Chains A and B, each alone.
Chain A
Amino acid sequence: MNKKAIAIKCAKAAFIGLVLLLLYAPILLLAVYSFLDTDVIGTSGDFSFVHYRALFTDSKVLTMIGNTFGLAFASAALSTVLGTLGALGIFYSKKRVKASMNAVSRIPIINAEIVTALALAITFVAFGLPKSYFTLLIGHMVICTPFVVLSVMPKLKQMDNSLYEAALDLGASPAKALFKVVLPQIIPGVISGFMLAITLSLDDYIVTFYTRPSGFETISTYVFSATTRGNAHTAATLSSFWALTTIIFVVILIVVISANLAGRRKDKTEVRR
């Protein structure tokens, strides 16, 4: 390899490295300061778990973390059931029904979140439905379910359809054939749809804000109002978010790495066979 090629290679690596550094700078900054006993970034401090202790002893913070995860699991579970059934229904429908349901199902995906949120909020009021946990759940299902449909659909297309027919011929009821034959073939899509629904729900601010019952806080709404209004919140509350961000970052890192290692290992064993 000549000198020019090496120089180009280094320049490429440096560029990628620089963008990654910028991308991770804010998170790493918070991660470092989450272990120091100072409330102001830039000042020095001693190593301490004070922000983590604050995070886990503040009952308001604990409630909103519980709310966030409870809502994410509930809406993801409901979205997965609804979306999987929906994908099956769409897949076996005639052309015109298929096309129109697919088109409508895409609206929440391509639409700006604020438009979905406003439309839902006004509709709830117009039909006399007061904001409650139910409306919040519906709001999250509207943003999650289309993604479940999207991740189940490719598995249905890959599926060997004759297996279902064979099960019926061998005397299985349609319901049994669906559970024992179709479901095992599409389950990877169902699981990834569920995971996607959880992350979408955890991430959401806008739809939550417009459909939640009053007083219900999630991580998103709590942090947003704490940072933009700032009045009733002390620096200590803000610095406990550093600890929260660090914990979430580490958990995500572990999940992403292990999911990928597991995925690659499976690929390898499949190749070996």
Chain B
Amino acid sequence: MRLRFSRKTLGIPYAIFLLFFVIIPMLVIIFYAFTDKEMHISFDNFVRFFSDPTKLSTIVYSLVIALITTAVCLLIAYPVAYILARSKMKKKFVILLLFVTPMWINFVLRVNAIRELLNWVGLLGEANYFNTIFGMVYDFLPFMILPLYTTLLKIDESLYEASADLGGNGFTTFTRITLPLSMPGIASGITMVFLPSMTNYVVSDMLGNSKVTIIGKFIYEYFGTNWHMGSMVALILLIVVFLSTWLTGGFKEENTVRGANI
């Protein structure tokens, strides 16, 4: 019998690609994380990593940097998204586009531009932690604005009117209507900013005068010396990612494409 053409078979190349370059690399990471240099099963990597006080203090610093970055992004992005989403202006998409456009410039060139600005102001090399957070806020702000904007836009205008009719003032309307209904946007914005602020060491290296170390930088350092320790850090980050996606109710496709679909 002749093999019947099925449209399902078109997916086979991609399935093989995913198997070899996504699934197997993840398994390799897990394998390396739980073995020592002689390839014996061991939990030493975990114990060694978490009993090193300098590593622990770096982790704490990195988490604090990521928390501040996320909080500042939220504080700036929420009003921006709210004003734009509720604006009756016909051309508001143009303004939203202006917030997204810098994202399309090469990432490293963008960080370099901030570096030149900070150098001009005289902060480069003087305020390493401030510079790092400034750069991260600058770079990751659109990741926060987009999901907030899309959820705020979906809120039915009549809910605001109903709240006002029932005697709710601006504050009550915000805490009882706007905030609860925009929670999904807040959650996906937070995950999309928090993760790169822990791991993207391009910003901290270029703006922090090589004095600021974040968790992602450990992987770089271990890559040259000890793959087992590096894989262990990667595995921890992997678990953090899966937990946070799971906790925030899965992943929102519309927010991941950098505003390509505004």
Asked if B83 and A256 make an inter-chain contact with CB atoms under 8 angstroms apart, the answer reads no
Q: A114-B237, A118-B219 are in contact. Are A123 and B28 (CB under 8 A)?
A: yes
**Shortest CB distance B153–A (Å):** 16
Contact bitstring A1-33, B, C-beta under 8 A = 1, else 0: 000000000001001100110111111011001
Q: Please tell me if the beta carbons of A256 and B97 are within 8 angstroms of each other in the complex.
A: yes
| Known A-B contacts A115-B237, A205-B107; A122 and B28 likewise in contact (beta carbons under 8 Å) | yes
Residues of chain A within 8 A (CB-CB) of B107 are: 203-205, 220
Q: A15-B79, A26-B113, A104-B22 are in contact. Are A141 and B17 (CB under 8 A)?
A: yes
The answer to whether B202 and A109 touch across the interface, beta carbons within 8 angstroms, is: no
Q: Take A85-B14, A88-B10, A242-B116 as given contacts and tell me if A109 and B108 are in contact as well, using a CB distance cutoff of 8 Å.
A: no
A114 lies within 8 A of B113 (CB): no
* A72-105 contact mask (Cβ, 8 Å, vs B): 1 or 0: 0000000000110110111011100100010011
**Does A110 have its Cβ within 8 Å of any Cβ on chain B?**
yes
B216 contact set on A, CB distance < 8 A: 112, 114
Contact of B115 among A93, A142, A227 (CB under 8 A): A227
The 0/1 profile, CB within 8 Å of A marked 1, for residues 162-187 of chain B is 00000000000000000000000000
CA distance A21 to B121 in the complex (A): 16
Query: In chain A between 104 and 129, which residues have their CB closer than 8 angstroms to a CB of chain B?
Result: 104-116, 118-123, 126
Query: Which single member of B9, B106, B113 contacts A89 (CB below 8 Å)?
Result: B9
By a CB distance below 8 angstroms, the chain B residues around A126 are 28
A87–B1 CA distance with the chains assembled, in angstroms:
28
Q: Which residues of A contact B (CB under 8 A)?
A: 12, 15-16, 19-20, 22-27, 29-30, 33, 41-42, 82-83, 85-86, 88-90, 92-94, 97, 101, 104-116, 118-123, 126, 138, 141-142, 145, 147, 149-151, 174-175, 178, 192, 195-196, 199, 202-206, 210, 219-220, 223-224, 227-228, 241-242, 244-245, 248-249, 252-253, 256, 260
B contacts, CB < 8 Å to A: 5-15, 17-18, 21-26, 28-29, 32, 76, 79-80, 83-84, 87, 93-95, 97-99, 101-102, 104-110, 112-117, 119-120, 138, 141, 195-196, 198-202, 205-206, 210, 216, 219-220, 223, 227, 230-231, 234, 237-238, 241, 245, 251, 253, 256-258, 260-261
- New A-B contacts (19) at CB < 8 Å, excluding given A20-B95, A30-B113: A12-B87, A23-B98, A26-B117, A27-B110, A89-B9, A93-B8, A93-B11, A112-B195, A114-B200, A114-B201, A115-B238, A115-B241, A119-B28, A123-B24, A141-B17, A151-B257, A205-B107, A245-B113, A252-B104
